[in-house]
Structure 1
Amino acid sequence: MNLTFLDPGQLTARLDVEGPEELPDGQGGVAAGWRLLRSLWAAIEPVSQGAYERASADGVAITHRIWAGFRSDIEAGMRFRKGVRVFAVKSVIDPDETGRFIVCRCEEESR
């Protein structure tokens, strides 16, 4: 097995991890929201970008790999936040299956 090498000194981005949360909407239903779970150090690596059209509006989808120390509680459907930037987690893998790091494939949400 090839071990993945990542210098821990490259984990320089402080990210907030947010999980989905249902909030009461005041009318007996719920509205989707986000709850801060924790903060962690990570490395953000841009991967690709592409243009799209959705409902007659142009947009850009930017994908990233976000590297962090191993955690078993981060999964697809969560998101990372760095200031006003938001990264939706699409998948999470342990690149060399040693329990040292995780790599999250994320898509940056445009505002």
Structure 2
Amino acid sequence: MAMQFLDPSLLTQRAAIERNEPVADGFGGARDRWVEMAETSVRVEPLKAEAEERFGQRVGTLTHRVTLRFRAGLERGMAFRLRGRRLLIRSLLDPDETRRWLVCRCEEKT
């Protein structure tokens, strides 16, 4: 994806950046604990919705492209939280390798 120009006015939504810090549940497992690390302006674009059958149940997956100004320290496994939705970061790309922008492929988790 060659991005020559991105108008900053397109970053119209505010999103919290979260990191998962699992907490032991006392039974050998762990439960998710999402901790807010920062807040930023983003552009969210839906990409696709898929449905598949898993263990006899229909399961849907929604994916999004999230664009933001470059931010060091952002990594796979972190998430954006927007108005009650959590978008888990699956991949990150610096589209023109200038450290101006990041484009993240995200999967919506409920």
TM-score range, shorter chain: 0.7 to 0.9
Q: Which 4+ residue blocks in structure 1 deviate beyond 2 angstroms?
A: 22-32
Aligned residue in 1 for 2:48: 48
Secondary structure at the aligned position of 2:105 is classed as strand
Whether 2:96 is the aligned partner of 1:101: answer no
Aligned residue in 2 for 1:66: 66
CA RMSD in angstroms, aligned pairs only: 1.8
Give the deviation of 1:59 after TM superposition: 2.0
Structure 2 portions without partners, runs of 5+? none
| Partner Cα distance (2:31, 2:108) in 1 | 22
Give the deviation of 1:93 after TM superposition: 0.8
Percent identity between the two aligned chains: 39
Structure 1 portions without partners, runs of 5+? none
**TM-score normalised according to structure 1 size:** 0.87
Q: What is the total number of aligned residue pairs between the two structures?
A: 109
- Seen in structure 2, the aligned counterparts of structure 1 residues 29 and 45 have a Cα distance that, compared at 3 Å, is closer
Partner deviation per Cα, 1:19-66 (whole Å, 9 max, x = no partner) = 010325367875331111111000001111111122222122111110
